[in-house]
């Protein structure tokens, strides 16, 4: 009985291990894994925390000052000692005028909103980087599989050439050509394997998953339905425009703050004075107002307005650039999709059929070796072109999604 239970447990553990080894890591899982440990995300969150702390600081009022003053001492005559001393203790309380505190809060709020947009930009960039690494890793594995298949075909062609030469049906030159083709195919495997290992290592480093984790190979074959004519594109509501709008909001808040700084603040000083000679006390009240004689704040307002004009011009420029970038990315994605459909569909089928006919004809002596090598080369080039086109489509699609990523809702990252 115990042996049966132990055998069942061992079988169950083997099944679990086998399932763990065959678990496929999808693109979404890779993006989620990378986002949780990405330094860019941590930096963006730290920027949000700093902006929130700056908002709290902006809402604080100026601190009062404790002032102490002793008069009528260390003089001459009756003022030589402390008998005629007058000691005053009071507070200097600054009173902000012109809406300075509200202006500081407005600027801090604008900067906090910009930090949230920056965090969303970091998230979008992480997704783009991981998608490109994922696509490259899957494409590299396919190129490696294609190289191995071409090596198998080259080995078969070499054996066929040896048989033909031994039977006296072909020149030894054909055997030498087949040998060169086999060596080239073997070298192609080594190169493709190194590139595949590098792509896997780059993805694993970014995502934090094992380098031998299985990827979703079928993700490379997913293509959109064929569409004729350009799609309607717009940059409204995208991250790029949201960042430009946030910069413009910061500039507006800067103008408001500069204007508020032109209004002088008051300093109110209530206190108590003690007269040493009569041992009496009296209340003291002081009021001070700075005179804007040398710095009236005009230059600061002019500077803030210039920054605002720059931010507004930059916003208009960003709108044009975003529209253009989206249009170009959409065209690149559509072209890559069309190329992938052709290369992995009719073109690949035709190349496979031509190579099959060339192999049969070469073995039967109907076709020459040059025809066979040309057909095999065309098939290999078509396979690689199909892989490259699929990878180009998914990369272009990822760039398009990055360009059209929506702006975050207010407070999403808080």
The three-state secondary structure class of 92 is: strand
Q: Give the C-alpha separation, 88 to 79, whole Å.
A: 17
Tell me the C-alpha distance between 95 and 23, whole Å: 66
- The answer to whether the beta carbons of residues 407 and 120 sit under 8 Å apart is yes
pLDDT tens digits, 160-210:
778 877 877 767 887 788 888 889 888 999 999 999 999 998 998 888 777
Predicted TM-score of the model (pTM): 0.79
User: Are 136 and 398 spatial neighbours (Cβ–Cβ below 8 Å)?
Assistant: no
- 26-42 tens-digit pLDDT: 888 888 888 766 788 88
Average pLDDT over residues 355-384: 80
First to last CA, the chain: 58
pLDDT given at position 211: 63
- 260 pLDDT above the threshold of 60: yes
Domain covering 27-61+96-262+297-403, topology: Outer membrane efflux proteins (OEP) (1.20.1600)
pLDDT tens-digit map of 119-172: 999 999 999 999 999 999 999 999 999 899 888 888 877 887 788 778 777 678
Considering only 66-70, 158-162, 263-267, which range has the smallest mean pLDDT?
Answer: 158-162
Backbone φ/ψ region at 33: left (φ over 0), alpha (ψ -120 to 50), beta: alpha
The single-letter DSSP state of residue 265 is P
> What confidence category does residue 318 fall into, taking pLDDT thresholds of 50, 70 and 90?
very high
């Amino acid at each position: 009985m115990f042996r049966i239970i132990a055998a069942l447990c061992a079988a169950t553990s083997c099944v679990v291990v086998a399932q763990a080894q065959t678990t496929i890591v999808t693109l979404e899982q890779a993006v989620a894994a990378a986002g949780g440990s990405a330094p860019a995300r941590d930096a963006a969150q730290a920027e949000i925390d700093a902006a929130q702390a700056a908002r709290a600081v902006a809402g604080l009022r100026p601190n009062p000052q404790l002032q102490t003053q002793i008069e009528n001492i260390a003089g001459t005559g009756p003022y030589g000692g402390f008998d005629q001393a007058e000691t005053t203790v009071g507070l200097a309380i600054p009173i902000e005028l012109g809406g300075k505190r509200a202006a500081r809060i407005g600027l801090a709020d604008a900067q906090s909103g910009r930090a949230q947009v920056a965090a969303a930009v970091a998230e979008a960039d992480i997704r783009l980087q991981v998608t490109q690494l994922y696509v490259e890793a899957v494409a590299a594995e396919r190129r490696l599989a294609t190289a191995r298949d071409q090596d198998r075909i080259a080995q078969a062609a070499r054996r066929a050439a040896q048989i033909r030469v031994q039977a006296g049906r072909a020149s030894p030159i054909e055997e030498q050509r087949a040998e060169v083709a086999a060596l080239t195919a073997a070298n192609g495997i080594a190169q493709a394997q190194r590139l595949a290992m590098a792509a896997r290592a780059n993805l694993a480093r970014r995502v934090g998953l094992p380098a031998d984790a299985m990827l979703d190979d079928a993700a490379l074959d997913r293509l959109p339905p064929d569409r004729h004519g350009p799609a309607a594109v717009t940059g409204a509501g995208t991250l790029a425009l949201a960042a430009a709008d946030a910069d413009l909001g910061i500039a507006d808040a800067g103008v408001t703050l500069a204007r508020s700084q032109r209004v002088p603040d008051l300093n109110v000083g209530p206190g108590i004075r003690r007269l040493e000679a009569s041992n009496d006390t009296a209340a003291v009240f002081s009021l001070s107002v700075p005179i804007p004689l040398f710095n009236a704040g005009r230059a600061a307002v002019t500077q803030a307005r210039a920054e605002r004009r720059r931010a507004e011009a930059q916003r208009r420029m960003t709108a044009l650039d975003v529209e253009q970038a989206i249009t170009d990315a959409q065209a690149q994605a559509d072209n890559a999709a069309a190329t992938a459909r052709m290369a992995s569909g009719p073109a690949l089928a035709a190349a496979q059929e031509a190579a099959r006919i060339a192999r049969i004809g070469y073995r039967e002596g109907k076709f020459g070796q040059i025809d066979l090598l040309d057909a095999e080369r065309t098939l290999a080039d078509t396979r690689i072109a199909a892989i490259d086109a699929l990878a180009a489509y998914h990369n272009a699609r990822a760039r398009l999604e990055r360009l059209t990523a929506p702006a975050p809702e207010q407070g999403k990252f808080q």
